[in-house]
Amino acid sequence: VIRALVFDVFGTLVDWRTSVAVEVAATFGARGVVVDGLALADAWRAEYQPAMERIRSGGRGYVPLDDLHRENLERVLAAFGLSLQAPEVDGLARAWERLTPWPDVPEGLRAARGRALVAPCSNGSIGMMARLARHAGLSWDGILGADLARDYKPKPVVYLAACAALRLPPAEVMMVAAHNGDLAAARAAGLATGFIPRPLEHGPSQTSDLSPEADWDVVAEDLPRLARGIPGP
Amino acid sequence: VIRALVFDVFGTLVDWRTSVAVEVAATFGARGVVVDGLALADAWRAEYQPAMERIRSGGRGYVPLDDLHRENLERVLAAFGLSLQAPEVDGLARAWERLTPWPDVPEGLRAARGRALVAPCSNGSIGMMARLARHAGLSWDGILGADLARDYKPKPVVYLAACAALRLPPAEVMMVAAHNGDLAAARAAGLATGFIPRPLEHGPSQTSDLSPEADWDVVAEDLPRLARGIPGP
């Protein structure tokens, strides 16, 4: 029996790419500067895994994603030959607290809450997830993920710390994600797995994670269908 | 400006004593045994601080409160000359997930949510708090407290870990409690403080925490009034 659903957030529940691009374009538009927001969003996101990898590998102590986002943004702005005042960088760095959910998510999370405890198991910090949930109209039973484990997915400790905090055996917790790699790591840690595709996460030319790459426990085309596939309490 | 309210739970938001007494009486009543539920609840609660103190003092590694509650229950049952089967002990030990909120709490928390982020900062575990919130109809932005800090209030790390997880300076976070000692520790860690009295927490002959013992930042007679005393966002 599944007693909790824990969710990847960036890409699985919210459309980070379009949301960040809009914020970038607005920030520079206000100064009369035209910037390709999608290109900057992609470049910013490309810094995400390397920044976390330094921490996962032990080369740097745990630093919340908020700080990594800001550091990465400064690097990307420099690479694009762009500059902003510090308060504008601060504001733009927090664009990740103002992302738009995919259209099926509010209904899907409500359905999921009727069947199990629900919590993000994201690499975002607790504060980032709390403010994003307020912005996006999401309701959680708690916030799990990187801050609790003080390390980053896909390291097993992140999934295991989430289960331990809920006081549930991993087999009673399902990781829900649009990313096969996240689910492979969750399965290796003993969790159940649920996949929904997000074929537009990286834009119309996306080539990764278009379909399930293993026999995940539940595969559904959207979150409400996935939630209805979970046995009720 | 206050951007988050973090709450003590046992005693401040929920009436643990009456709730536990009812569960005790029901558990033994089902076996035809009459037990003074209030006396057993008080004895069980009396084991709470000593069990945490071993961990706070470093004599034992962090153990979630769920496990302490179960150990303490076994000790108290033995002291009362009572015995139960292991599954009944398991069920009764989880009475702390099924406590009744004080009558003003649902409305008060809704009002608080309109003004700030809200989260428990309790010595209960994340799982315990999540299930208690479902039972009691409470809605949180996240769950902070002992599990996050892997130590117990009133140690400063618990308050500071809560602020760090929210990415807020302590001065922008208010600890709300019915216990002067909790607020004194929170203030020493730099948090703002809000007091509401719960004169029946320990029953009609309660002598402690009947009134504020310092100039807490907000003092109100109940949670809705306290929430309305917080400047809006």
**Among A64, A130, A165, whose Cβ lies nearest the Cβ of B147?**
A165
CB-facing half-sphere around the CA of A38: CA atoms within 13 A:
8
For position B231, what pLDDT does the model report? 73
pLDDT of residue B219 exceeding 70: yes
With CB atoms and an 8 Å threshold, state whether A127 touches B64: no
Please, which residues have CB within 8 angstroms of residue B5's CB and are 6 or more apart in sequence? B112, B115, B116, B117, B118, B119, B173, B174, B176, B194, B227, B230
pTM, to two decimals = 0.97
Put simply, the answer to whether A165 touches B119 (Cβ < 8 Å) is no
For residues B25-48, average pLDDT: 96
What pLDDT, on a 0 to 100 scale, did the predictor assign at position A231? 73
Q: Residue A12 has what pLDDT?
A: 98
Q: Cα dist. B54→A25, B28, B60 in Å?
A: 55, 31, 6
- Which one, of B178, B193, B8, B198, lies nearest residue B103 by Cα? B198
Considering only CB atoms, which chain A residues are within 8 Å of B131? 117
* ipTM value: 0.96
Q: Classify residue B175 by its DSSP letter.
A: E
Mutate to test the interface with B, among A139, A143, A144 (most CBs of B within 10 A): A143
Rounded distance between C-alpha atoms, residue A120 and residue A97, angstroms = 14
Which tokens is A61 given? 């102590």
The token duo for A103 is 């259209």
Low-confidence ranges of chain A (pLDDT < 70): 232-233
Structure letter (DSSP) for residue A96 = G
Q: Name the average pLDDT for chain B.
A: 97
Cβ atoms B172, B1 nearer than 8 A: yes
Q: Which residue of B has its CA nearest to A141?
A: B130
* pLDDT tens by residue, B115-146: 999 999 999 999 999 999 999 999 999 999 99
Strand partners, A116: none
pLDDT of amino acid B38: 98
Is there a contact between A127 and B66 if contact means CB atoms under 8 Å apart? Answer: no
Q: What is the pLDDT of residues A123-146, one digit of tens each?
A: 999 999 999 999 999 999 999 999
Q: Which of B143, B150, B160 to mutate to test the interface with A (most CBs of A within 10 A)?
A: B143
Residue A232's pLDDT is: 63
For the cut 70, the answer to whether the pLDDT of residue B81 exceeds it is yes
